[in-house]
């Protein structure tokens, strides 16, 4: 079946690194995504990783993928108060060749001074 799980809350101090974890179940998923949602807003695509990659880095963001364990993580370096938001992990199972996203429940990141 299709299921994505994330821890619900993470609190970090400004300037520290944040690591948000996600596990997924569908091994057919070829791409995995991280989206950010600020209060009252829509979803902003942060980054994605192809399933044949182990790591992807984009400025302050590092995505690690352990395909064997079906584990995905997002590391935010030098976390700032503007990073406070809900972060969603999503997978795209191969079904009909289109992009049906399966989301986790989201991790609420709180950054404090």
Partner 1 sequence: NAGVMQNPRHLVRRRGQEARLRCSPMKGHSHVYWYRQLPEEGLKFMVYLQKENIIDESGMPKERFSAEFPKEGPSILRIQQVVRGDSAAYFCASSPRTGVGTDTQYFGPGTRLTVL
Binding site for partner 1 (CB under 8 A): 4, 30-31, 33, 35, 41-45, 48, 50, 88, 92, 94, 96-106
Nearer to partner 1, 11 or 50 (CB): 50
Three-class SS string for 14-27?
CCCCEEEEEEECCC
Provide, rounded to whole angstroms, the least separation between the CB of residue 8 and partner 1: 9
Q: Please, which residue, 88 or 109, has the CB nearer to partner 1?
A: 88
Nearer to partner 1, 85 or 88 (CB): 88
Distance in Å, CB of 112 to partner 1, minimum: 21
Q: Measured from the CB atom, is 77 or 110 closer to partner 1? A: 110
Which string of DSSP letters, residue by residue, matches 15-77? TS-EEEEEEE--TT--EEEEEEE-TT--EEEEEEEETT-SEEEETTEEEEEETTTTEEEEEES
Dihedral sign (CA 45, 16, 19, 10): negative
Minimum gap (Å) between residue 90 Cβ and partner 1: 8
């Amino acid at each position: 079946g299709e299921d994505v799980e994330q821890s619900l809350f993470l609190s970090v101090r400004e300037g520290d690194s944040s690591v948000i974890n996600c596990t997924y179940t569908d091994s057919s998923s070829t791409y995995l995504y991280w989206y950010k949602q600020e209060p009252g807003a829509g979803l902003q695509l942060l980054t994605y990783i192809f399933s044949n990659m182990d790591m992807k880095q984009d400025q302050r963001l590092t995505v690690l993928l352990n395909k064997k364990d079906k584990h995905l993580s997002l590391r935010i370096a030098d976390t700032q108060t503007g990073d406070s938001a809900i972060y969603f992990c999503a997978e795209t199972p191969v079904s009909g060749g289109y992009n049906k996203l399966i989301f986790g429940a989201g991790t609420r990141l709180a950054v404090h001074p």
